[in-house]
Amino acid sequence: MNTHTPSLDEVEDEPPDEPRHRTRRFLLVVAPFSGIVAFFVGWEVYVRVSGVGPLTLPLPSDVLHHVLTNAGFYWQHGLVTLQEAFWGFWLAFFVAVAVATLMAHSRFLERATMPVIVLIQSTPVAVLVPVFIIWFGFSPWPKILTAALFAWVPFVANALTGLRAVDEDTHELMRSVDASRWEIYWQLRVPHSLPFLFSAGRICIGLALVGAVIGEFFNSTEGLGNTARVAQSRVLVDQLWGSVFVLAFIGIVLVIALSAVERRLLRWHSSQGLM
Amino acid sequence: MAIADTTIPETTTGIHFDRVSKWFRGKDQIVHALSRVTLDVAEGEFVSLIGPSGCGKSTMLRLAGGLLEPDKGSIMVGSEAPELARRRKHYAFIPQQPALLPWRTVRENVALLGELNRRVGSGGVSPTDQLELLEHIGLGSFVDAYPKELSGGMQQRVSIARAFALGAQVMLMDEPFSALDEITRADIRYRLLEIWRRAGSTVLFVSHSIPEAVLLSDRVVVLSGRPGRVTNVINVDLPRPRHEDMEDSRTYHAAISEVRSAVRGSSAGR
């Protein structure tokens, strides 16, 4: 049988025409943006075609116009809600990481703490808002605490998994040079938990915003929860939907910002693809 | 076939097992892992442990490394108890999986063991020597790569470089090539031998592969099935340094046959 082995010169060795990063950018930016555009175009077309009244469902273009013409108003109230959600988010984060750290280092503490976490998780947090108001009055704290309680459980669950489920071989390797608990914590457990914490963070941004708004429903003179509540009681449909739009916008911007930080910090993680 | 000399050699970095027994207590049962194991690994010697699954090879490695304690008998690493050798970073461990930190580059992973436990002052070899190690093991152009960018074989080479970068004179290797394909294993064995030759360390190597154990080792220790006992110690008379041509030699194949018969014998005698 005659066989022909191609020489090196004959073998085609050219890179593909389409660079990888172009496809990646398309997936990262264009695809989500087109999803949002399609959603609003669909909404706009539906309202125009079906003839549903603005009291039931306004045109998104009208809501957008209302928000832009009252940008100062929404900026002022949006900033209040953003601050409450921000501090609630970080409070939840730090308390969750501290609790998860203790749980990851002690089986006793893990077993003792788990029922309390389940208790908090299964208690409707909204019913605690009046309690916080009794404790802290008309300060931002009831809203911050509500935001923190909403965001706390996903953070603690993910932090615990990340801190505990480290690779057994790597743990043993570190023990083989008598690494201290502190070194194992900082060099192994904390970096290992980062992807878990970022995952939780994306969920918790939304939850912290929900918590802040619920806090504002109960007791506030400002914030987007307040503007929505006032709009509902006075049937100000534009303002009601304007508050919703601005809240959604804040949520999206925060998630995008967090994802950008994640891409930068977790370049090494398989979720970020090859560089 | 040569049976192990039971007198403890005058060495500073040898490994000595003296009638070591080990049991593991599970929830419902007690497993007798090792029974009265006596073995001396001389300074600078490369010794492989081979035997059926569950015969206690990895347990012996962890006992030598102070990660487990014997229930009976004693172990010395040089003139120290294993626990002390561990605390002083006097041995380096190569686990079955590469166990690289994915957030560290190749260079940073190689420096890891030196950075940990600085209380005892052993920071390992210098950064220049770390880079030289990586060059020798064929990863000179990957020093700034992350583990996810490397193949399984390359990751295991980083693991080997990391162990040698500690500058320890005793190496404990737990089937480090078991997850690699045959072509990669063949390549990595010779790279390991080259680095070991330069370092001159004492190696206790766990393997499932008889040809691999023969090719790498000065002696192959055959363990019986559970509880693990040393049934044979076979000298490999291949000269050093070893190279690929030796894999066609009579001595090599004779040693493989000898180890294979010993493994069969130890399994049959269970």
Q: What is the pLDDT of residue B1?
A: 41
**Does the N-terminal peptide bond of residue A58 adopt cis geometry, omega within 30 degrees of 0?**
no
User: pLDDT digit string (tens) for A99-152?
Assistant: 999 999 888 998 999 898 888 888 888 899 999 999 998 899 999 999 999 999
Contact (CB<8Å) B104/A268: yes
Whole-number pLDDT of residue A275: 40
Determine contact: A169 vs chain B, CB below 8 A: yes
Nearest by Cα to A77 from A238, A224, A241: A224
C-alpha distance from A268 to closest chain B C-alpha (Å):
5
Nearest CB to A172 within list B67, B104, B116:
B67
Q: Distance (Å, rounded) from C-alpha A216 to C-alpha A223?
A: 7
Chain B residue with Cα closest to A183? B116
Average pLDDT over residues B11-23: 87
User: Is B5 a residue whose pLDDT tops 50?
Assistant: no
- The pLDDT of B103-112, averaged and rounded, is 96
A26 vs A85 pLDDT, higher one: A85
Q: Please list every residue in chain A whose beta carbon sits closer than 8 Å to the beta carbon of residue B101.
A: 170, 187-188, 191
Main-chain phi, psi angles of A22, to 5 degrees:
-70, -45
Q: What is the pLDDT of residue B4?
A: 42
Sign of the dihedral through C-alpha A129, A132, A133, A136: negative
Q: Could you tell me if B60 and B34 are in contact, meaning their C-beta atoms sit under 8 angstroms apart?
A: yes
Cα nearest neighbour of B124 on chain A: A177
Name every residue in B having a CB less than 8 A away from some CB of A: 65, 67, 86-87, 89, 91-93, 95-97, 99-104, 112-113, 115-117, 120, 146-149, 166, 172
- Using a CB-CB cut-off of 8 Å, the residues of chain A touching B118 are none
Contacts of B97 in chain A (CB under 8 A): 167, 169
Exposure string for B69-106, b = 16+ CB within 10 A, e = fewer = ebeebebbbbebebeebbbbbbbbbbbbbbbbbbbbbb
Q: What backbone phi and psi angles, to 5 degrees, belong to B91? A: -140, 160
Task: Show the tokens assigned to A134.
Answer: 């009794």
Given a cut of 80, is residue A77 above it in pLDDT? Answer: yes
Listed residue (A121, A119, A101) closest to A110, CA to CA: A101
Contact A177/B117, CB-based, under 8 Å?
Answer: yes
Nearest CA in chain B to A180: B117
Kindly determine whether residue B149 and residue A177, on different chains, have CB atoms separated by under 8 Å. Answer: no
Tell me, yes or no, if A2 comes closer than 8 A to chain B by beta carbon: no
Chain B, nearest residue to A274 by Cα:
B149
The answer to ipTM > 0.95 is no
The share of chain A scoring above pLDDT 70, in percent, equals 90
- Contact status, residue B111 vs residue B73, Cβ threshold 8 Å: no
Give how far A92 is from chain B: nearest CA, Å: 25
pLDDT for the residue numbered A268:
87
Least confident range of A97-106, A177-186, B55-64, B183-192: B183-192
CA angle B210–B215–B221, rounded 5-degree value = 55
Q: Do A267 and B89 touch (CB under 8 A)?
A: no
pLDDT at A9 over 60: no
pTM for the full predicted model: 0.83
- Which of B59, B104, B105, B117 to mutate: most A Cβ within 10 Å? B117
Contact A169 B95 (CB under 8 A): yes
Pairing of the two strands B170-174 and B202-206: parallel
Residue B107 has pLDDT above 70, yes or no: yes
Question: Which residue of chain B has the CA closest to A168?
Answer: B99
Residue among B77, B87, B107, B148 with most chain A CBs within 10 A, to mutate? B148
Confidence of residue B193 (pLDDT cuts 50, 70, 90): very high
pLDDT digits (tens, 9 = 90+) for B143-188: 999 999 999 999 999 999 999 999 998 999 999 998 888 888 888 8
Q: Does residue A200 register a pLDDT over 80?
A: yes
Per-residue burial over A234-249, b = 16 or more CB atoms within 10 Å of its CB, e = otherwise: eebbbbbbbbebbbee
How confident is the prediction for chain B on average, in pLDDT? 90
Substitution target from B93, B116, B172 for chain A, most A beta carbons within 10 A: B116
Structural contact between residues B212 and B175, judged by C-beta atoms closer than 8 angstroms: no
Local structure of residue B171 (DSSP, 8 states): E
| b/e map A126-149, b = 16+ CB within 10 Å | bebbeebbeeeeeebbbbbbbbbb
Question: Which amino acid appears at position A197 of this protein?
Answer: L
Range B197-203 average pLDDT? 92
pLDDT of residue B187: 86
Q: Give pLDDT tens digits for A235-258.
A: 999 999 999 999 999 999 999 999
